[in-house]
Amino acid sequence: MSEQLETYFAVTQLHARYATVVDAKDWDAWCELFVDDCVYRIQPRENYERGFPLATLSFTSKGMLKDRAYGIRETLFHDPYYQRHVIGAPLILESSATHIDCESNYAVFRTKLSELSTVFNVGRYIDRIVRTPEGLRFQSRQCVYDSEMIPNSIIYPI
Amino acid sequence: MNAIDATLTQLQSSPSALNWYENGTSRIPFRVYTDAERHRKELEAFFYKNHWCYVGLEAEIPNVGDFKRTAIGERSVVMSRAEDGSVHVFENVCAHRGMQFCRERHGNRKDFVCPYHQWSYSLKGDLQGVPFIRGVKQDGKVNGGMPPDFKKEEHGLTKLRVATRGGVVFATFDHAMESFEDFVGEAVLHYFDRMFNGRKLKILGYNRQRIPGNWKLMQENIKDPYHPGLLHTWFVTFGLWRADNKAELKMDRHFRHAAMISTRGNAQAANEVSKVSSFKETMQLHDARFLDIVPEAWWNGPTAVMTTLFPSVILQQQVNSVSTRHIQPRGNGEFDFVWTHFGYEDDAPEMTERRLRQSNLFGPAGFVSADDGEVIELSQKGFEQKPDHRALAELGGRDVGDTDHMVTETLIRGMYAYWRKVMGE
């Protein structure tokens, strides 16, 4: 049991770290929560459940994450906003010496300057986390979102 | 009458009359984006009459009984495939009590049944079953039932006229209008056929966004070759767009539809032309696969063709990424924008992967498309706060015509020349 608790604790800390860095707009730290050969996808639930491969964003290397970080910082014009993640308790589906498969619900709130806070995107994370010498890292994070309409655009990572 | 009285009279007779500079379309009154009443007139004139509107792709309903719920303007419609393989479009309003009976967005069924009183319709939209049509027998007496002269064939769903070409489905409430081919016109149809050349399409998936701006702004965005090299600095930074690209702008004879045709060149360093301050000559992608572009035979040269079919759809070919972008208005200040990305049935798996990877550039989070939605939202905000003002579209002059370059807003002026003719103002 203590090993399971340790895993559970480590996963919740990783999720908390993830929320902290993306809500703080620390895109470099966001990239470093992934291994080099990683997958990061934001996909409508509709595509996921109907077996359509299209994702709203689909990155298949840490390099692509870094390119997104560059885009956010340097090239993508957008109305500035804060985002705030609330991540539910992870359901650990499988845990081994090398990796952990888990899922958790999330809600992201968006606050534009001079505006009220609104629900921006809700869904679930489907994760494969790997144990590395530096601690837990995402090998794959899929954000499968229920939100039927994107309120105009998604700029920052979910 | 003194000047003040004259002004007052004018204001009272038409409080929001449009003032067009020199009676042209190079200055667009903000009121065309802000008035609810004018918007309702546009829906009637452009979406419900005299225009073929986009409904979907045949590949979305490949089998008998497949259906898709979508919208034309602000009216909910259903596209279905009947037993004989034909495609039908009907309005999602029950002939009995007017309920919007179809709630699933896609699926497969033998017929459509309104849950309220179980009226059932065929896949073609004909009324089939009416419960208690002959009444209910009780104690040797028949109670109720429909009047003897009630005819089911008179109470089908509102059927639209359907046109399919190259696997794309268009429909119109207007049964008297010209053919789809005449509607699009020869010049633009050429580029439609280039993308939809008869090969079967393969659906890759959807993206849906709600943009808080007037629907026409999205048509204008894709009729505006001025902005890509300036707003979309990602395009410029990574060499995908340049103001001196070989380019052509072509319109139909009414100026409502257009094709922006461009071919990537490699001549000069990009910053000599673009003058974009944030351009970084030395910037390299960490992962170059975003721009792993492989030319395809059907392109016939151009690396990007963006086609606007007025009023309802944009057809996108940006290198290997192809999609339809469906405009669904929601009042004058908002529209839904639905992206359907696809490939072709004979695509090799590597080409499918490539199309999917390049789709990161487009859509509601795309490296170059996310900012289009943002500027449309902020334009609408500007219009709302100053409705008596106007926008300028004078790059390249004040007239309208095809060009062999991108440094012009002629397509926007053309669209409003058509708009004024149809709206009569």
* ipTM score assigned to the predicted complex: 0.96
DSSP sequence for B96-138: TT------SSEEE-SSEE-TTT--EE-TTS-EEE-TTTT-EEE
Q: What is the mean pLDDT of residues B206-222?
A: 98
CA distance A125 to A144: 6
Q: How far is B166 from chain A (nearest CA, A)?
A: 22
Amino acid symbol at B49 = K
What backbone phi and psi angles, to 5 degrees, belong to B410? Answer: -60, -35
Q: Which tokens go with A28? A: 């470099």
Distant-in-sequence, close-in-space partners of A21: CB < 8 Å, separation ≥ 6: A29, A30, A33
**Closest-CA residue to A42 (of A111, A141, A112, A110):** A141
Helices (H) and strands (E) in chain B, counts: 12, 21
Q: What is the mean pLDDT of residues A73-81?
A: 94
**Closest-CA residue to A33 (of A113, A127, A153):** A127
Question: Tens digit of pLDDT for each residue in A98-117?
Answer: 999 999 999 999 999 999 99
Q: Is the pLDDT of residue A147 over 50?
A: yes
Contact by Cβ (8 Å): B382, B34: no
pLDDT-wise least confident of A37-41, B22-26, B264-268 = B264-268
Q: Is the pLDDT of residue B309 over 80?
A: yes
* Contact residues of B toward A, CB < 8 A: 105-106, 203-212, 231-234, 237, 278, 280, 283, 285-287, 289-290, 336, 341, 352, 356-357, 359-360, 363-365, 367, 370-371, 373-375, 377-378
Rg from Cα positions in chain B = 24
pLDDT at B271: 43
Would the CB atoms of B232 and A75 count as touching at under 8 Å?
yes
Q: Is the pLDDT of residue B275 over 80?
A: no
Average per-residue pLDDT in chain A?
97
B267 band by pLDDT with thresholds 50, 70 and 90: very low
B8 band by pLDDT with thresholds 50, 70 and 90: low
The H or E element containing residue B190 is helix B186-195
Count CB pairs under 8 A between chains A and B.
Answer: 126
- For residue B2, the tally of other CB atoms under 10 A from its CB is 7
Q: What is the mean pLDDT of residues A12-30?
A: 98
Q: How far is B248 from chain A (nearest CA, A)?
A: 26
B269 band by pLDDT with thresholds 50, 70 and 90: very low
Would the CB atoms of B208 and A151 count as touching at under 8 Å?
no
Question: Tens digit of pLDDT for each residue in B128-179?
Answer: 999 999 999 999 999 999 999 999 999 999 999 999 999 999 999 999 999 9
Q: Is the pLDDT of residue B12 over 80?
A: no
Would the CB atoms of B205 and A53 count as touching at under 8 Å?
yes
B268 band by pLDDT with thresholds 50, 70 and 90: very low
pLDDT at B242: 72
Would the CB atoms of B209 and A152 count as touching at under 8 Å?
yes
List of domains in chain B: 53-162 (2.102.10.10), 185-423 (3.90.380.10)
Q: What is the mean pLDDT of residues B28-41?
A: 97
B6 band by pLDDT with thresholds 50, 70 and 90: low
Contact by Cβ (8 Å): B147, B178: no
The sheet that has B168-172: what strands, in order across it? B53-57, B168-172, B161-165
Question: Tens digit of pLDDT for each residue in B238-251?
Answer: 877 776 788 999 99
CA distance B163 to B196: 14
The partner residue sitting opposite A151, judged by closest CB among B210, B232, B363, is: B210
List of domains in chain A: 2-145 (3.10.450.50)
| DSSP, res B186 | H
**A39-68 b/e (C-beta count within 10 Å ≥ 16 → b):** bbbbbbebbbeeebbbbbbbbbbbbbbbbb
pLDDT at B245: 80
Average per-residue pLDDT in chain B?
92
Would the CB atoms of B232 and A52 count as touching at under 8 Å?
no
CA distance B253 to B276: 35
pLDDT at B270: 43
CA distance A59 to A81: 23
Looking up tokens 């539809």, which residue turns up? B257
Report which listed range, B141-145, B325-329, B404-408, is most confident. B325-329
B7 band by pLDDT with thresholds 50, 70 and 90: low
pLDDT at B277: 43
Q: What is the mean pLDDT of residues B106-124?
A: 98
The residue of chain A with its CA nearest to that of B375 is A78
Would the CB atoms of B371 and A77 count as touching at under 8 Å?
yes
| pLDDT: which is higher, B281 or B209 | B209
Looking only at the bridges linking them, the beta strands covering A135-145 and A34-44 are: parallel
pLDDT at B216: 98
Q: What is the mean pLDDT of residues B363-391?
A: 96
- The percentage of residues in chain B with a pLDDT greater than 90, rounded to a whole number, is 87
